[in-house]
Amino acid sequence: MKHILIFHPYREQYTDIYQCLAPQHDYTIIADQAKAASFQLNQPVNVTLVFVKNYPLARERQARELMTNAHFDAIIALDEFDIELAGKLRTAFNLPGQNLAEARIFRDKATMVQRVSAAGFKVPNSQVVSSSAALAAFFKRNPDMIVKPLDGAGSVNTFHLKEKADLTRFQADHDWIQQTFLVQQYLYADIYHIDGLIAHGQVLYCEPARYIYNPLLIKAGVSAAAVSLDHTDASYLELSQYATNLVKKLAPTGTFLFHLEVFFDGQEIIFLEIGSRIGGARIRQNLEFKLACNPLKLLIYSVCAEPLPAIRRDYPVTGWLLTAKQAGTIQALPEFTEAVKSEFSIFDEVAYVRVGSQIGNAAHSADAVIGLSVYGASFRSVKAQLLRAEQWAQANTRYQDQ
């Protein structure tokens, strides 16, 4: 029997974590006190809950206290911002899994780009900058670029600078005191996300999907959306093999979920970034529908060295959509009747806001009003359904005074 420590900053229903636990083992879940009510319903007998106030600041102290007073066999971090902490604790307590140095490959964007490039995979022209002068010098050589924080996630504080006015505005808004960014040449090519699971060095599944819109544009009021590829498509095979080769190079014996993003123009694949966690937006729901199994369950069973649940191999094509927020007060939201879900082949949906909510513009790549997932027989048909569903969702989302 193993004792597993899990960092879980979300509500229980966000991951359905209770349904993912191998029953033969014990689990201690560190969770945000603000989400406590969601965990207390149907709590399994093999789960100990530890709630902390101010989760970002208190979770490490609480974890160290727990690990000093009890034996743990493994740590599982589900959130982007817990990956490096989990590596730090594994290193300190000599536990298996990503150590601190390995975790940084998947969190620190400068380390990530360096390691990927050293492994023989093409990356955009990149540089770490810590001053206004260094940024201006890079812009002079690459007058169309992306600026992102080294530990960023979800496109927060990520900026596309393509004109001198953009550079001037960015410089005015940043004082450069203890600030370091990764700057990269902006590439105009389709962006794909590839989500998978590596278990003890073997990739168990690997699913590429193409973003329909550039994910950065959600902050400009454009929806975020993606559609998975047909398994018979040559691009599916090429992208899956690329992801498998890359992950094995970075972590030959690893066990973790991964979310990889790349540029691909049909000829050349160029690395964008990778995280050792499941993708955000509606990616978990879509993978669960494809596999007929929650990916987090596959991860936990792998960490516990248990036989894995059976997964479906004849996957349907799926697509996901997030409609972007606009500043204002929500007056009406779409109603997902059975007829609507049937019309658009929707298998999962969620409203992130309520009628009467006063909201601002989207601040990150998953900051949305409505999320939905659709399925179908091919990339072409699912993309068409998704675009129709987007039009319907936007037409039925109304703001006050519209």
**In the CATH hierarchy, which fold is given to the domain comprising 3-105?**
Rossmann fold (3.40.50)
DSSP 307: P
Q: How far is CA 293 from CA 9, 19, 212, 281, 300, in A?
A: 22, 10, 26, 18, 12
* Single pTM value for the model: 0.95
Q: What is the pLDDT along the chain (402 residues), one digit of tens a residue?
A: 999 999 999 999 999 999 999 999 999 999 999 999 999 889 999 999 999 999 999 999 999 999 999 999 999 999 999 999 999 999 999 999 999 999 999 999 999 999 999 999 999 999 999 999 999 999 999 999 999 998 877 677 888 999 999 999 988 888 777 789 999 999 999 999 999 999 999 999 999 999 999 988 887 889 999 999 999 999 999 999 999 999 999 999 999 999 999 999 999 999 999 999 999 999 999 999 999 999 999 999 999 999 999 998 888 999 999 998 989 999 999 999 999 999 999 999 999 999 999 998 877 767 899 999 999 999 999 999 999 999 999 999 999 876
Decide which of 3.30.1490.20, 3.40.30.10, 3.40.50.740, 3.20.20.150 is the CATH code for 125-185. Answer: 3.30.1490.20
CA quadruple 307, 310, 316, 322: dihedral sign: negative
d(CA 59, CA 260): 27
Annotated domain spans of the chain = 3-105, 125-185, 190-399
What per-residue confidence (pLDDT) applies to 364? 75
**In the CATH hierarchy, which fold is given to the domain comprising 190-399?**
D-amino Acid Aminotransferase; Chain A, domain 1 (3.30.470)
42: nearest Cα among 18, 10, 20? 18
What per-residue confidence (pLDDT) applies to 402? 60
The three-state secondary structure class of 326 is: coil
Residue 172, judged by CB atoms within 10 A of its CB (0-12, 13-18, 19+), counts as exposed
Q: How far is CA 326 from CA 155, 219, 222, 360, in A?
A: 17, 9, 10, 6
